[in-house]
Amino acid sequence: MSSLAQLSPDARQYLLVTGNYWAFTLTDGALRMLVVLHFYSLGYSPFEIAMLFLFYEFFGVVTNLIGGWLGAHAGLNRLMHMGLGLQVVALAMLLVPDSLLTVAWVMAAQALSGIAKDLNKMSAKSAVKLLVPDEVQGQLYRWVAFLTGSKNALKGAGFFMGGLLLTFLGFKTSIAVMAFGMLVIWIAAIFTLKRDLGKAKKKPAFIELFSKSARINALSAARLCLFGARDVWFVVALPVYLASVFGWDHWAVGGFLALWIIGYGIIQGFAPSITRQDRGVPDGRAAFHWALLLAGIPLGIGLFLYFSPVVLLGGLLLFGVVFAVNSSLHSYLIVRYADADGVSMDVGFYYMANAMGRLMGTVLSGYIYQAHGLAACLFFSFVLVASAAALSLLLPANEASPESS
């Protein structure tokens, strides 16, 4: 506690924001795995399971767009409070009797969870921009990489926790435990986060929701393709494939995906070291080169999958390493490009594109897998990553300033 007291106010706020982000992410990952595995065990088809997440992803798009404007007016702390509170409500909705747990009801609960997730993520990512001086870009890159990487590591832990809870406690008890934990975190956040964090000095008009920056538009389009490329085979197709073709139990599927996400998060945290350049932090050309490297991996997995399904496991690990670097680069670049006054507007627009990519990938993951199999999902992933690489050519090069801290 004494060491925490010696930290600067900005550093303490960073730790508080990160801690709330961690807590939320843990339940978000667990909830996704609980829903996928529970409803698969009830006999739902892959496409039907994908539809359960349709509103989760759709309202993520809407939330990121409107939430950026809301954050500029109300402050980032209120966005985080709203996100935590909505997650409690979303979890509580799944505690109704089984007779009321219809597809429509689950979709509505997932819609609230999607809104909550993106409010929480937007507030956390935007807050980092305000806590680091513009001239210290190396520190900004490291803080963003740590926040993003640790979040994904905990999301992986959430996947494992979801599979484990479902195995030993069942669906309803698991949801109840998570809802109570989030309620405690929500109450604590209300009393600890800085009240005026992220309020814009000039209140933006609603029409300013859409970015007018060419580089933010290009980066957002690349982000859409990048996350569509991941989710088109990872969200529904992969867990169902592991359960049906490999015959793995719930905890094994959840555990494997958890290890993948945790490893992916760890790599994201080390991205500043992996992408280190002579002139300092990376630029748009680095995003192009790493996307180009990623594109060949799903193509290779899809081709070799016809000879042996086991190639999927090794290929997935390789994809995770390179994808993690791509994701971390994007997360840094949007924070760098964003305008400090009303940062949530630019970050919100960017994560709207991120959510659109997830929405597209989720729907296609269920449909393509059910109609054509996992290899087709991987080939479509290749097309999307190649598109992300092409869009990255529109990003400015040689713009990074030397490391000053």
- Predicted confidence (pLDDT) per residue in 151-177, tens digit: 777 777 887 888 888 888 888 899 999
Give the chain's domain count.
Answer: 1
Whether 199 is in a domain gets the answer no
Whether 180 is in a domain gets the answer yes
Residue 205 scores a pLDDT above 60: no
Whether 51 is in a domain gets the answer yes
State residue 308's pLDDT score: 80
Residue 197 scores a pLDDT above 60: no
Q: What is the CATH number of the domain that holds 157?
A: 1.20.1250.20
Return the ∠ at Cα 388 (arms to 387 and 390), rounded to 5°: 65
Torsion angle in degrees (nearest 10) through CA of 389, 395, 398, 404? -100
Whether 306 is in a domain gets the answer yes
What are the strands, taking DSSP E only, across 242-328? none
pLDDT band at residue 386 under the 50/70/90 scheme: very high
Q: How distant, in Å, are the alpha carbons of 101, 128, 132, 137, 147 from that of 10?
A: 44, 9, 8, 16, 15
State residue 39's pLDDT score: 81
Determine contact, residues 158/23, Cβ cutoff 8 Å. no
Residue 403: both structure tokens together: 């490391």
> CB neighbours of 98 closer than 8 A, spacing ≥ 6?
none
> Which residue reads 């054509």 in tokens?
372
**Rounded Cα–Cα distance for residues 228 and 66 (Å):** 21
pTM comes to 0.69
Whether 200 is in a domain gets the answer no
Highest mean pLDDT among 38-42, 315-319, 385-389: 385-389
Whether 203 is in a domain gets the answer no
Whether 338 is in a domain gets the answer yes
State residue 295's pLDDT score: 94
State residue 202's pLDDT score: 53
**In sequence order, what are the beta bridge partners of 277?**
280
pLDDT in tens, 295-354: 999 999 989 887 887 888 888 889 988 998 898 888 878 877 766 555 556 777 787 888
Q: How many helices (H) and strands (E) does the chain have?
A: 16, 0
Residue 226 scores a pLDDT above 90: yes
Range of the domain at 309: 8-193+212-392
Whether 186 is in a domain gets the answer yes
